[in-house]
């Protein structure tokens, strides 16, 4: 006669409803945590522009400001001087934004960087932004 317990002893792959829901929850949490990892393309990721890629037009980068294209932050700290940095924050890989009030800030944990040289100014990041070589070609800024 079948009593249910015999089935459970013989079928080791049978999951209880609680076991199934726990496993599904763990898989969902693992997926969510992996989406928060460093270098994730949705949040930032390393600069993807190959040498020769046009990153911006000179007129689109305000003095004291910047723009992000292809994972590269292009800034104009002083009139006519253009610099570029990997837009990935070295702390946890979140994409930084254009400078505001003379400071580049990571929106995740408020690490701050200098637009003039990419140096770390404050926050949990332990190093500055990685400089990307660029050149001005007429009215465009190109990755060198």
Phi/psi-derived region of residue 83, left when phi > 0, alpha when psi is between -120 and 50, beta in every other case = beta
Query: 5 — phi, psi (to 5°)?
Result: -65, -40
Is the domain of 18 the same as that of 63?
no
Is the domain of 66 the same as that of 22?
no
CATH number at residue 137: 2.102.10.10
Which positions of the chain have pLDDT values less than 50? 8, 11, 13, 20, 26-27, 29-43
- Which domain does 12 fall in, by range? 5-34
Is the domain of 28 the same as that of 62?
no
Which pLDDT score, from 0 to 100, does residue 38 have?
A: 38
Is the domain of 59 the same as that of 130?
yes
Query: Total structural domains in the chain?
Result: 2
Please report the DSSP string for 81-130 in residue order.
EEEEEESB-TTT-BBP---BTTBEE-TTT--EE-TTT--EEESS-SS-PP
Is the domain of 23 the same as that of 63?
no
Residue at 90 is within a domain: yes
HSE-up (13 A, CA, CB side) for residue 54 = 8
* Residue linked to tokens 């190109």: 142
Cα 2 versus chain centre, distance: 57
Is the domain of 64 the same as that of 110?
yes
């Amino acid at each position: 006669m079948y009593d249910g317990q015999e089935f459970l002893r013989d079928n080791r792959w049978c999951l209880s409803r609680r076991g199934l829901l726990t496993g599904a929850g763990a898989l969902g949490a693992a997926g969510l945590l992996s989406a928060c990892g460093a270098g994730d393309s949705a949040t930032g990721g390393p600069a993807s522009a190959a040498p020769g890629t046009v990153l911006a037009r000179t007129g689109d980068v305000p003095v004291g400001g910047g723009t992000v294209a292809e994972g590269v932050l292009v800034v104009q700290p002083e009139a006519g001087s253009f610099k570029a940095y990997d837009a990935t924050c070295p702390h946890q890989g979140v994409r930084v934004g254009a400078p505001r009030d003379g400071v580049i800030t990571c929106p995740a944990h408020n690490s701050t960087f200098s637009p003039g040289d990419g140096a770390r100014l404050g926050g949990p990041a332990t190093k500055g932004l990685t400089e990307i070589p660029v050149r001005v070609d007429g009215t465009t800024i190109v990755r060198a």
